Chains A and B, each alone.
Chain A
Amino acid sequence: MLTLFFRFALRNTLRHRLRSLLTLAGLIVAILAFGLLQTIISAWYAGVNAASPNRLISRNAISLTFPLPLAYAERIRAQEGIERLSWANWFGGVYIDESNFFPSFAVDAPSYFALYPEFVLPAEQQAAFIRDRRGAVVGAKLAKRFGWEVGDVVPLRGTIYPGNWDFVVRGIYHGRDASTDENQFFFQWDYLNERLRNTLPGMSNQVGIYLLQLAPGQNAAGVSVRVDAEFRNSLAETLTETEKAFQMSFVAMTGAIVSAIEIVSYVVILIIMAVMANTMAMAARERSREYATLKALGFPPHGIGMLVLAESLLLALAGGAIAVALTPPLASAISHQLEQFFPVFAVQTVTMQHQALAALGIGCVAAILPALRAMRIRITDGLRAIA
């Protein structure tokens, strides 16, 4: 049951249908935009967030574009505190056309998936992958995008490693978590290396990055220091860091864009706050006479302030609720368009919480000045005001 006071505020909100509807539409668009922009930012950081704290990555200290010798594998494995080791090379293959972009890697087949439990692959597919030298494992989203099934032949054109490469899909992995990237393409590092030995011997036996899994209870910093010390003053020095830090270094390159998006998302909220404050100020000004009457009847100033606040909050929270409800369906509609750029594009709970918080903030901030004005109105002045 609505109390009289609440009904009063609610009907004030609905008083100017058109004005309230336009403000509501503005609120919905703004809070929706805020949610989608925040989702883009979290999609940007998806790799960072999905990174496991007990995986380290060793790369050439000069730059990621310089490889490390295959011979390092045994020496890294010999270090204390490392449970598993694998390695991978960025392949950068093109499928039919450049626009069909997806990340492709040559990985050490026997060890790779043991390091990545979040890539869920049926055991028999894993076995089939290892058996077939030209075998490939692809993410479920990627397979769906191109209609690939197990057994299909997928030709890729090499960009770093020249030539045409034919692979046979032997497995399709699913993500264990919502944040798992299901858009990647893996094939056997041995196959890559074998062909290079024959065609470009200078490029063979070279590893892009080593993937290290820490033994339980091991400290990431300590192991990193030990590994890097092992190769100090050698021809290719290593730089070892956590997977999170490694992913972060990619995001950092685009940090300015992310910051810009973040700023825009907050500016949108500030703008609607100003619009909403204007709506409330107009409404409160028109009601000077009513507020003065309420005061004359004995309503205390804070009661009048609450009435203005309640009116503002009703509008803001209604807009917020609609926007929050619309965000996930809209995001999933957009995600199909953005799949190549953002393998993981899902609205996070924390984003929706921030949307709700933004709505609350808008409602409160917009009400402050009009509420103060209504509270301070002098009864005799207010009663003289022309309604």
Chain B
Amino acid sequence: MTPPCVSLQHVSKHYERGGQRLPVLSDIHFDIQPGDYLALMGPSGSGKSTLLNLIAGIDQPSSGAIVVGGTDIATLGERALADWRAANIGFIFQFYNLMPVLNALENVELPLLLTGLNRRQRRERALFALELVGLSDRLQHYPSELSGGQQQRVAIARAIVSDPTLLVADEPTGDLDRKSGEEILTLLERLNRDAGKTIIMVTHDQKAADAARSVRHLEKGELSALEVRA
């Protein structure tokens, strides 16, 4: 059996608010296999984003271990964690979070500044990533000159350009109309199926969940059993 891509071991997370302890996640324990495409569903405030942020290494659990690609990221310091994210995680946000002053090509090239690649190699990889998402004709466009769906495709290109182990997407279709949303879902499916990317996606949208290979529900900080799609 191949080792899991992501392994959460008894992960809990709570926030302190005015001396009060606000539990968000309690004793979450599950694995994600390499090549999986998992949809996380659940009501608003159930802790989906919190869980995703823990797996992506931009938030720290209160207790438990999170092992991604063999590393327990809960033990990493800030600097090491930043390097780890750069190498292992591709982020796709609900509101794209592109840099407004950079054009599509520059936005995609941005994460490659953290690699040892030279200018030409960076440009080639960014061009390739943009071609994958079908935006070769929008290289010089700034985010404000792109539709929401196009912006999200640029964001996906940025997420895959450094070839990370894991893609994390928090409601990637949440801000899009039906048609653009479907395009994004098709793209994620292709990345999972053809490029073998492991994807974890938080979504409210049943359509989006249907596109995934497996689904888990989060309710009141606890996780449901895995549902695997045909």
CB atoms of A296 and B59 under 8 A apart: no
Of B85, B97, B111, B158, most buried by chain A (CB within 10 Å of CB) is B97
Given contacts A4-B113, A5-B113, A379-B59, contact A297 B102 (CB under 8 A): no
CB atoms of B83 and A298 under 8 A apart: yes
A15 at the interface (CB under 8 A from B): yes
Mind listing 30 A-B residue pairs with CB under 8 Å? A4-B106, A4-B109, A4-B110, A4-B113, A5-B113, A7-B102, A8-B99, A8-B102, A8-B106, A15-B100, A290-B99, A293-B99, A294-B110, A295-B82, A296-B56, A296-B91, A297-B91, A297-B110, A297-B114, A298-B84, A298-B87, A298-B89, A298-B111, A298-B114, A300-B79, A301-B78, A379-B59, A380-B58, A383-B58, A383-B93
Query: CB-nearest residue of chain B relative to A300?
Result: B82
Size class of the contact patch on chain B: 20 to 34
A12 at the interface (CB under 8 A from B): yes
B180 at the interface (CB under 8 A from A): no
Chain B residues lying within 8 Å of A383, measured Cβ to Cβ, are 58, 93, 97
Chain A residues lying within 8 Å of B93, measured Cβ to Cβ, are 293, 383
Given contacts A4-B106, A383-B93, contact A298 B85 (CB under 8 A): yes
CB atoms of A289 and B113 under 8 A apart: no
Chain B residues with CB under 8 Å of chain A are: 53, 56, 58-59, 78-79, 82-87, 89, 91, 93, 95, 97, 99-102, 106, 109-111, 113-114, 158
- C-alpha spacing A7/B53, complex, angstroms: 30
- C-alpha spacing A15/B144, complex, angstroms: 13
- C-alpha spacing A320/B97, complex, angstroms: 34
Chain A residues lying within 8 Å of B79, measured Cβ to Cβ, are 300
Q: How far is the CB of B54 from chain A (nearest CB, A)?
A: 10
* Majority DSSP secondary structure for residues of A touching B: helix
- Binary contact track A1-31/B, C-beta < 8 Å → 1, others 0: 0001101100110010000000000000000
CB atoms of A297 and B85 under 8 A apart: yes
Interface residues in A289-324 by Cβ distance below 8 A to B read 289-290, 293-301
Chain A residues lying within 8 Å of B111, measured Cβ to Cβ, are 297-298
Q: How far is the CB of B229 from chain A (nearest CB, A)?
A: 29
CB atoms of B59 and A297 under 8 A apart: no
Chain B residues lying within 8 Å of A300, measured Cβ to Cβ, are 79, 82-83
CB atoms of A11 and B110 under 8 A apart: no
Chain B residues lying within 8 Å of A301, measured Cβ to Cβ, are 78
Query: CB-nearest residue of chain A relative to B90?
Result: A297
